[in-house]
Structure 1
Amino acid sequence: MVDVIIDCCAGLDVHQGTIVACVLGGKSNRGTRSRPGKTIRTFGTTREKLQSLVAWLKAEGVTHACMEASGVYWMPVFATLEASEAVAPIVVNASHIKNVPGRKTDVKDAEWLAHLVRLGLVRNSFVPDRPFRELRELTRYRRSLVETQASERQRLIKLLEGAGIKLAGVLSDVFGVSGRAIVRALIAGTHTPQQMAALARGTARKKYAALVKALDVRLEGHQRLMLECQLQRVENAEADIAALDVEIDRRLDPYAEYMAALLRMPGIDRVVATAVIAEIGIDVSMFPTAAHLAAWAGVCPGNHQSAGKSKPTKARKGNRHLKTALCNAAISASKKTGSYYKAKYHKLKARRGGGKAALAIAHKLLLAVYHVLRGSPFRDLGETYLDKLNVKRSAARHVKYLEKLGFSVKIEPLAQAAICLK
């Protein structure tokens, strides 16, 4: 017999337009402790219907309500329950609570959720506080805009290349001051190659002759129209990103101390630090250890063990927004001179490849982030840390490398060498 953890609880099967709620052990039908009473009702998802759902759960004496993290449909339900302060909302990963096969209905799903909550067999997913959820929406939308902008830039360059205009082969940045002026002249269609090349500014003026040759192609009318649309979409995305940055910076003001601490770490710039705070928040007490946080983010190795043997497996699934930001930070950290992360990255890259090495460095960065957010100052171990862990092995590796180059090497400790010199 399994002990009952929660006497009165509810399971919510949330959809776009309906919510099926199953209450076990409600006031209207208590039953017994071993076999609770069951009440099932269906509600809509509008604000008025959500208020009715909360009022009904309160009347039934429900203390905990569980729902699956299905798309974005759970978010307004969670926010309404959270605001009520009477019913504790629980969000769970759908893959962790799969029902037994057969008889799949919304009512069965809601009842199954309620049974799991009642017996304490669900693990609450990490949902940050409301300010961080709002910051999350802003940073995730900003990332989408950056990706959209990058796609439009690639389409614009592809259009120019397809038309025979080799502007990208001459200018290092087609979207710089010189590049944009030339693109606008191409859209107008009234300039000669010499006039367009004369629009170059700064160091691009030295490329006048090359620009004249690259621009010696006339665009068709439909190509100029497409070019205008693409440039407009790039500039609109830039304006939207700038507006989002202002709002994000305003919301980050209360966390300036945490931002400054994160920015001291190798590879972490303002974008990555913002993503870390938006996705995790500043209170990491929800995660008992740094390893738990790494598992939640999906940057730690996966486990696949059978018959006492560990087998290769893919990386764990996790928070893809945080994972992407950390992997970008890992690649930047691998270029930091004198950093432990640079030495570790190249050591792993030689054996496992760049992708797995970047993920491993992202893992180590997140472990450091966990302790930084808990108030510990960041300290880089240094590029020679790994060699000092096993001096004998490191020395043997260097000797072997020198012998391959044709040298005869004999090594001895510095103290012993000083005695011999005397």
Structure 2
Amino acid sequence: MSKSTHSQSSCKTIVQNSPETVVSARYPSAIGVDVHAKLLVCAFQDGTSPSFIKTEIQNFGTTYSQLSAFAQWCKQCNPSIVVMESTGVLWRSVYAALEDVGFTAERLALVNARDVKAIIGRKTDREDAQRLAEIARLGNIKKSFVPSRPFREMRQLARRYQTITQDIASGTNVYHKLLNATGCRAGSVFSDVKGVVATAILEAKLDQAENFAEVVTKYSRRLKASAAEVLDALNFDIAPVVRQQLVLERNHLAAQKKFAEETFELLRQMQEPYEEHIRLLQSIPGIREKSARLIFAELSDDLAEHFADTEHFCSWLGICPGNKISAEKSYSGKPSKGNKWLRRVLIECAHGIALSKCELKEKFMVWKLRRGSLRAIVALAHYLARVIFSVLKNRTMFKLVAMTTQRDELVNRVQRNIKALKRTGCALHSSLLIEKSSGVIIGQIAE
């Protein structure tokens, strides 16, 4: 790749006259774009002629002026579809530039690099662009889900909020690790060292408050440990350098928490026109406001436009079992890769349901009996994904029908165990387990 291609566009037109190259295609013309950090390699294929295919290759940079020139060139070519292949977030500015000149979502397609990977030894930027144009004309592409621009901006904000909350959790662990290194044993007197009471007492200790004993007495009323036990656990000396480090960590955490609050407030403002959708999501047990807003930011206001049914939606999300069948043998059913941000929120909601007493916990308990806790969590997240699609598509509140699933599963287990006991020569009489051959009582079922 030469440096000159980054700064200015270059054009090469190739005309193929072989009649063998002309096949029946879904689209008469297409543009394939191979997106890089500093370069866009584009190939325009026009198959309207019955005898040959015209291929034009253009290189553009990624500066504002070059993106404008690229968008105008695409508009001038007037293709039936534009397909781009990109990793990361490099495609966003290219996609937006095409939207600005009038390309609609029906004429734009983003494909994953793994779906259009070149043969080893035959990979160049121009060949990649030509191959994208060819498969685009044939319609042999798997379009990635690209929501409208407001939802793309909303999604970017929601993902930033998720990363900053993870940073806060990591920073909090570092902060308490430093406290433990100094001899502080806050975990022995506080049930939650990240709670309001623990934070207030530890900050008073760190700030060398003169009325530290009074602060402990004031807040210890809300603790199981007495004030004397708290004072004894926090009776440690802090070296000046370590104290300064702890202050820096505390201030950094405070700044991160403020940033997270402002980010979430901005997300709430962006979602004001969609409050009805947020309320629908909150009607699902285990999904509260924060989770509902993070979930909705990854989707759109019309899921039926992008996904045919719940199966396609869960497959895109990567929360359903995958297929791996060869020679009529089924191998690992590991889920495929999908939207990790939305999947993470659903897994967190599933963990919350497992620890709560909400209506969906019965489903979790049944799956736990069958497959274990970890698989039950994923199964519950899959169920939540199906419910979310149905609720948003039909615009109806979630209503859970009374279930006896857990009871039925336990009854079936008992019946299977009784049959297994009979095969071993035992009988169940009332609540007694009796050996048939000798009549000896070998056990009793406690009520």
Normalised TM-score (structure 2): 0.82
Question: Equivalents in 2 of 1:386, 1:194: separation in Å?
Answer: 51
Displacement after TM superposition at 1:104 (Å): 1.4
Question: Equivalents in 1 of 2:116, 2:301: separation in Å?
Answer: 29
The amino acid across from 1:16 in the alignment is A
Equivalent residue runs for 1:41-60 within 5 Å:
41-60=58-77
The amino acid across from 2:295 in the alignment is V
Equivalent residue runs for 1:323-402 within 5 Å:
323-337=343-357, 339=359, 341-375=360-394, 376-385=396-405, 393=412, 396=415
Question: Equivalents in 2 of 1:248, 1:80: separation in Å?
Answer: 24
Contact 1:156 1:227 in 2 (8 A): yes
- Aligned pair partner of 2:314 in 268, 287, 294: 294
Displacement after TM superposition at 1:62 (Å): 2.3
Question: Equivalents in 2 of 1:276, 1:70: separation in Å?
Answer: 23
Deviations 1:339-395 (A, max 9, x none): 2x322212222332211111111111111111111124422133314656x998477
Equivalent residue runs for 1:264-343 within 5 Å:
264-285=283-304, 286-337=306-357, 339=359, 341-343=360-362
Displacement after TM superposition at 1:98 (Å): 1.4
Match of 2:440 in 1: none
Contact 2:365 2:406 in 1 (8 A): no
Contact 1:399 1:409 in 2 (8 A): no
Contact 1:159 1:227 in 2 (8 A): yes
The amino acid across from 2:203 in the alignment is R
Find out whether 1:408 has 2:436 as its counterpart.
Answer: no
**Greater shift after overlay, 56-65 or 285-294?**
56-65
Find out whether 1:20 has 2:37 as its counterpart.
Answer: no
Displacement after TM superposition at 1:50 (Å): 0.7
Equivalent pairs, count: 404
Match of 2:261 in 1: 242
The amino acid across from 1:345 in the alignment is F
Deviations 1:225-271 (A, max 9, x none): 21111111111111111111221111222111121111111111112
Find out whether 1:140 has 2:151 as its counterpart.
Answer: no
- Aligned pair partner of 2:87 in 57, 64, 70: 70
CA distance change for structure 1 residues 144 and 8 in 2, over 3 Å: closer, same or farther? Answer: same
3-state SS of paired residue (1:104): coil
Question: Equivalents in 2 of 1:3, 1:401: separation in Å?
Answer: 63
Question: Equivalents in 2 of 1:283, 1:230: separation in Å?
Answer: 43
Question: Equivalents in 1 of 2:137, 2:218: separation in Å?
Answer: 72
Contact 1:5 1:120 in 2 (8 A): yes
CA distance change for structure 1 residues 47 and 176 in 2, over 3 Å: closer, same or farther? Answer: same
Alignment identity in percent? 30
Question: Equivalents in 2 of 1:168, 1:405: separation in Å?
Answer: 52
The amino acid across from 1:133 in the alignment is R
Displacement after TM superposition at 1:167 (Å): 1.6
**Structure 2 gaps, min length 5:** 1-21, 433-447
Question: Equivalents in 2 of 1:159, 1:354: separation in Å?
Answer: 33
Contact 2:286 2:358 in 1 (8 A): no
Normalised TM-score (structure 1): 0.87
- Aligned pair partner of 1:5 in 26, 32, 36: 26
Contact 2:75 2:101 in 1 (8 A): no
**Structure 1 gaps, min length 5:** 411-422
Question: Equivalents in 2 of 1:9, 1:128: separation in Å?
Answer: 22
- Aligned pair partner of 1:79 in 68, 72, 96: 96
3-state SS of paired residue (1:317): coil
3-state SS of paired residue (2:140): coil
Contact 2:204 2:212 in 1 (8 A): no
Question: Equivalents in 2 of 1:336, 1:300: separation in Å?
Answer: 24
Contact 2:26 2:138 in 1 (8 A): yes
Question: Equivalents in 1 of 2:261, 2:217: separation in Å?
Answer: 30
Find out whether 1:120 has 2:139 as its counterpart.
Answer: yes
Question: Equivalents in 2 of 1:386, 1:198: separation in Å?
Answer: 47
Question: Equivalents in 2 of 1:206, 1:338: separation in Å?
Answer: 31
CA distance change for structure 1 residues 166 and 397 in 2, over 3 Å: closer, same or farther? Answer: same
